[in-house]
Amino acid sequence: MTTAVDHYLSIQKEHALPGRGIAWIDDLRERGIDEFKANGFPTIRDEDWRYTNTRQIQKQPFTPVDTPIDSTLRERFAQCLLQGLNSHRIVFIDGRYSAALTGEAPLPKGVNVQSLAAAIQSGSVHVQKLLGSCTPLQKNGFSALNTAFVEDGIYLRVDDDCMVERPIEIVFFNTERGGQLIQPRNLLVFGERSQAKVIERYISLTDIPYFTNSITEMIVHRSAITEHTKLQEESNKAFHVGGVFVRLSADAQMVSNNVALGSLIARTDLSVTLTAEGGECYLNGVYLANGRQHVDNFTQVDHQQPNCKSDEFYKGVLDNRARAVFRGRVIVHQDAQYTDAEQQNRNLLLSDDAEIDTKPQLEIYADDVKCSHGATVGQLDEDAMYYLRTRAIDAPTARSLLTYAFAGDVISRFSLKPIRRHVENVLSKKLFGVDRLEDLV
């Protein structure tokens, strides 16, 4: 581990980072360096990483690269676009903003978008004030590493009372260059009474090893309504560690859709803090793993004030020798009376060798609350299989239909139809070898 830490510290000193010499960003990066030196990478001795071993990530010396844009890359990127999605698209290639591939449609008035690198160099007061304000560094070496390298990503600010009709799609596209270190840093700020939907998508066309270590900070002001969809479809030989850290103000509402479909090892930390009365968050998650994939979801909802609501519903489908981890924590502080919190994690194992470690948790320090949590792990229902077989449906098709039905009630919660359709088709292809859901029957 010491060797891996030294490798990244030496790269940080030599790498050309935007804004070097600007006091506030130098100070933020220095904080990340100090925490990374102190804690290093998490190990299975750390309770929050007990079931996810990071040694494979540490063994490979990943480095950042700069990828030129050519016509071939443009054509390959076009193959990955979500069908039917009419969005404002911002594109990053190997972690760096690409003006050449970013959509040309103008953003509506009241929506301000910059690459984070440009915002840092321009001296944005908002970025200086808010960047890093939601991200925990202590005891999380990956967050500290990202902070030490703050380089590029998106800075999005939606003004007060602005309603954005089309979703804002942020695409992080990885090329065929293996061994890369890609560390996006995103800052999303939603003004009072604003409404917007954001899609954060990670994709790769080829199965090559690389390391994505991303952080997204979201600040949702009073009475704002937002939906954030993270769609992770990276190489099955890659490693993905992501943090999504959210702060909700009074009467704000946030929907999170977390979809994990790729990577050899994938870990997402999702933390929502309800800082004032009337806040609501709805956390939907679906993860699919097969082969020897390992997917880990760590969620935390922090109820700090009264009269807030949270609803969390995660489902996983595991096949072959895949392994998944779910650890969800809901904390209700002493002052958070009249909290309404629900948490569910359900898992379907399609083989005898698949494995899930699930641990939903409630920590309640208030005495007038409504809270519940639960977890289930099981295989396909034999009675349901028998019922479909007696209706002249063959065994593989019956298995497919029941598996899709299991995941479908989470997917149906996604408000954007192109996202639902895409996830359905990926589920069909990865598990059953057909390109579209209709081909199952």
How far is residue 430's CA from residue 409's CA, in Å, rounded to a whole number?
Answer: 19
334-355 pLDDT per residue, tens: 999 999 999 999 999 998 999 9
Contact 225, 195 (CB under 8 A): yes
What pLDDT shows up at residue 395?
79
Phi then psi for residue 10, to 5 deg, are -70, -35
| Predicted model pTM | 0.94
Parallel, antiparallel or unpaired: strands 88-93 and 96-97:
antiparallel
What pLDDT shows up at residue 394?
77
261-309 pLDDT per residue, tens: 999 999 999 999 999 999 999 999 999 998 999 999 999 999 999 999 9
Query: For 386-418, b where at least 16 C-beta lie within 10 A, e where not — what string?
Result: eebeeeebeeeebbbbbbbebbbebbebbebeb
87-102 pLDDT per residue, tens: 999 999 999 999 888 9
Contact 135, 217 (CB under 8 A): yes
Residue segments in the chain with a per-residue pLDDT below the cut of 70: 1-2, 69, 431-441
Place of tokens 């990503």: 153
